[in-house]
Structure 1
Amino acid sequence: MASMSFAQPFFKRALHTIPNPTFFFNHKSLFHPPSGIGICHLAQAVKGENGVLLKGVGGYNEEVKQIIEMAKRASLRREVLHTDFLTPPVLKDSMMLIEKLADVKTSVQGGYPEAERCRLSVGHPEALTTDPDIVAALSISGNFSFQPCSHGDFLGSILGTGIVRDKLGDILLQGEKGAHVLVVPELVDFLTMSLEKVGNVSVTCKKMPLIALEYEPPRTKTFKTVEASMRIDAIASAGFKISRSKLVGLISDGDVRVNWATVTKNNTTIKSGDMISVSGKGRLKIGEVNETKKGKFAVELIRFL
């Protein structure tokens, strides 16, 4: 099958460029309003033998299972397939399972070395010979001197154009200058035309080369807390310096996530290595956990600033 791309700036026009949308792996559209249209960039297929495929991925979420099925297709058809941007847990689980597949090569790209959200390409070794061009960068610039905007402000404004989150990678804040954003290449034209404001600041959105991205390791603050349990309502309230009742309310509103999955129960147990994020509050990583002589838990918390 020939390679396909989504380069039209308007979604309605792009519908006519997809001859067989049901073939594609990802059945989420680029935008929220339409449904049932999947966009997945495909590389040139190469004929050949079938590989040995992994059987049984029970216990993993549906996203991981779909990625494994995609890897199987890539091996059988000797082609290259790509995911959208994946969260670290999904990428980790997928890579662990794909390692057990024969005749499958992978390529992980997030736009820069320390990228958190990355796209995964899978293909037969004879087909996936170079890293595909599947990540693009945008510079969002404006006068943020008097109206600073947060990561959430940029994310909210971009999603406000109708784009789904999976089509966006990391957002790298640039202080008063704005931000650099990683996206799927198919959305570059749309965003450069559609994104006009972030918060109350008028912005200009332009494509930029990946090599020009400016980034630095995230700033963190590490401290410890002693809690009676490892329940999320106890740990997160201590980590974000808010009352437990307010944290419970945020959980009820769907604003609390653990490893990028929304939490629905206050008594959800967390462990070392988990990442907690709260809308409007930021992120918190659970470091070393030790049980005290009195049966409580001394927890190292790493707050991202």
Structure 2
Amino acid sequence: MSERDKILRYYRSSGDVELAAKLLDLAEVTLKNRKYKVSEFLDPYGQSIAETIAAHYDRLTMETNGGYAGAERMKAAFVDTDFLDYAGSLDYCIDTLVIQWDSRYYRPSHRDVLGALMGLGIKREILGDIIMASEQCYVITDTAMAAYIVQNLTEIGQAAVSVSQASLDDIPAKEEKVKEIRSTVASLRLDAVAASGFGTSRTRMAEDIAAAKVKINWQEAKSSSQAVKVGDVISMRGRGRVEVIEVPGQTKKGRYSVLLRRFM
């Protein structure tokens, strides 16, 4: 069985075979032309698939770039190791746009901005991070789509907006509100841990999981009973994400102590 077949077989069981196949195609072209190939924007789970692929080929290394320090969504570059010896900087074809509105009347959210962009027919894979500020936001995008967005994005919801090119150096330092949560849960099931982290009932969380609003490690949650472990990241649409930092042990009543870190 070839390395490609082994990798596809592994990701077929998790439902990610299509992405794995696309990344494998890039890796194999890189090995053939002995240079490099760059993917579309990937979430952290997609990046982990790219890392797995690179690790299976001796002449292949992987680098990432999301346009600024601390980016979550990034492009992966498969690079022939021989090419690294004489190559300059890699061209990831990443541009930055700034979207502005009148903050006296409108306060678009991250979801509003993303919805407006995808309403133009833009795939999520073409877009990197969206960094919100008080009167504007910065959008990381593939260079090929930048001019189209500038010309066609004129409103977000009811808010009239203007879009212009910006420099990657203009992007403000990423700020995230972080809250540590110490709690006890009846079990290390996803619904129990997520309910504690997001401050909701276990029943409501189970409903949200069933409605495909919850991901674990950037993959859609399979079920409420899915087991959670230290290091897992639980994200919820519109609510941010929760990272499982520590599970110190069980209480005398058999409940599990957990330390969670919530990013809002």
Q: TM-score, normalised by structure 1?
A: 0.76
Which residue does 1:66 correspond to in 2? 22
Which residue does 1:84 correspond to in 2? 40
**Deviations, residues 65-101 of structure 1 (Å, cap 9, x unaligned):** 5323421221123243221111112213422441342
How far apart are residue 126 of structure 1 and its match? 5.1
**Deviations, residues 138-180 of structure 1 (Å, cap 9, x unaligned):** 10111124432222222122122221111111111111x2100
What is the aligned counterpart of 2:146 among 180, 183, 188?
Answer: 188
Which residue does 1:137 correspond to in 2? 96
Kept in 2: contact 1:144–1:201 (CA 8 A): no
Q: Which has the higher helix share?
A: 2
Kept in 2: contact 1:231–1:269 (CA 8 A): yes
Q: Supply the distance in 1 between the matched residues of 2:170 and 2:202 (Cα, whole angstroms).
A: 43
Give matches, 1:245-284, under 5 Å. Answer: 245-284=203-242
How far apart are residue 182 of structure 1 and its match? 0.5
**Deviations, residues 105-147 of structure 1 (Å, cap 9, x unaligned):** 4331100121111001223345562211421111011112443
How far apart are residue 285 of structure 1 and its match? 1.6
Kept in 1: contact 2:212–2:220 (CA 8 A): yes
What is the aligned counterpart of 2:198 among 240, 253, 272?
Answer: 240
SS of the equivalent of 2:93 reads coil
Kept in 2: contact 1:154–1:198 (CA 8 A): yes
Aligned AA (2:107): P
Does the alignment pair 1:221 with 2:179?
A: yes
**Deviations, residues 3-28 of structure 1 (Å, cap 9, x unaligned):** xxxxxxxxxxxxxxxxxxxxxxxxxx
What is the aligned counterpart of 2:110 among 151, 175, 190?
Answer: 151
Identity of aligned residues (%): 25
* Range 185-194 or range 57-66, more displaced: 57-66
Kept in 2: contact 1:172–1:215 (CA 8 A): no
Q: Supply the distance in 2 between the matched residues of 1:258 and 1:282 (Cα, whole angstroms).
A: 12
Kept in 2: contact 1:107–1:131 (CA 8 A): no
Q: Supply the distance in 1 between the matched residues of 2:215 and 2:141 (Cα, whole angstroms).
A: 22
Which residue does 1:161 correspond to in 2? 120
Stretches of 4+ aligned residues off by more than 6 angstroms: none
SS of the equivalent of 2:10 reads coil
Aligned AA (2:72): E
* Range 290-299 or range 224-233, more displaced: 290-299
5+ unaligned residues in a row in structure 2: which ranges?
A: none
Q: Which has the higher strand share?
A: 2
Which residue does 2:256 correspond to in 1? 297
Q: Supply the distance in 2 between the matched residues of 1:80 and 1:97 (Cα, whole angstroms).
A: 14
Q: Supply the distance in 2 between the matched residues of 1:250 and 1:281 (Cα, whole angstroms).
A: 12
How far apart are residue 207 of structure 1 and its match? 1.4
Kept in 1: contact 2:96–2:166 (CA 8 A): yes
Give matches, 1:16-35, under 5 Å. Answer: none
SS of the equivalent of 1:59 reads helix
Give matches, 1:97-108, under 5 Å. Answer: 97-108=53-64
SS of the equivalent of 1:114 reads coil
Q: TM-score, normalised by structure 2?
A: 0.87
5+ unaligned residues in a row in structure 1: which ranges?
A: 1-52
Q: Supply the distance in 1 between the matched residues of 2:80 and 2:115 (Cα, whole angstroms).
A: 38
Aligned AA (2:54): I
Distance 1:105 1:197, change over 3 A: same
